[in-house]
Amino acid sequence: MNKKSFSLGILIGGALGAAAALLYSPSSGKELRLQIKETTNEWTKIMIDLKNNANDLKDSVSKLTKEGKDIIKEISHDVKTAVNDWQKQTEPNKERLQEEVIKIQKTLEELEQKLQKNG
């Protein structure tokens, strides 16, 4: 919205400046009409170019947005696959670690019992 307002301001300001320059210049009526016609043609060309550039920009943004969505979907899929693979790879270690923790807990309980008997 901000860029659109800025561009519109430039166009309106330019048109008003051109009109003021033509009206305050020391020219005959015939010369003034010719200058207005030339200026109008120039502004028409500028507006057509601006419209074409805006359409090109719109198309580029749409294309980039679509490509961005596709890339995000692909990356998301890759990350999910990598996480699933990692979970599968670490599962045996997880089970082994749980068994080790249980063994350590049993050893600690046995030590506590021995200490209570001796204590």
Task: Give the tens place of pLDDT for each residue, 83-95.
Answer: 898 888 888 788 8
Structurally, the chain folds into a number of domains equal to 1
23-32, 44-53, 60-69, 110-119: segment of lowest average pLDDT: 23-32
Please measure the distance between the N-terminal and C-terminal CA atoms of the chain and give it in whole angstroms: 82
Please give the pLDDT value at position 17.
77
Please give the pLDDT value at position 89.
84
Per the listing, tokens 């890759």 go with 78
Three-state SS sequence of the chain: CHHHHHHHHHHHHHHHHHHHHHHHCCCCHHHHHHHHHHHHHHHHHHHHHHHHHHHHHHHHHHHHHHHHHHHHHHHHHHHHHHHHHHHHHHHHHHHHHHHHHHHHHHHHHHHHHHHHHHC
CB contact at 8 A, 19 and 38:
no
- Residue-number span of the structural domain to which 87 is assigned: 2-118
Long-range contacts of 85-88 (CB under 8 A, 24+ apart): none
The larger pLDDT score, comparing residue 31 to residue 98, is at 98
Question: What would the two tokens of residue 25 be?
Answer: 């210049």
Question: pLDDT (tens digit, 9 = 90+) per residue, 39-64?
Answer: 888 888 888 888 888 888 888 888 88
pTM: 0.41
pLDDT at residue 25 tops 70: no
- Percent pLDDT > 70 in the chain is 91
Q: What is the mean pLDDT of residues 66-93?
A: 87
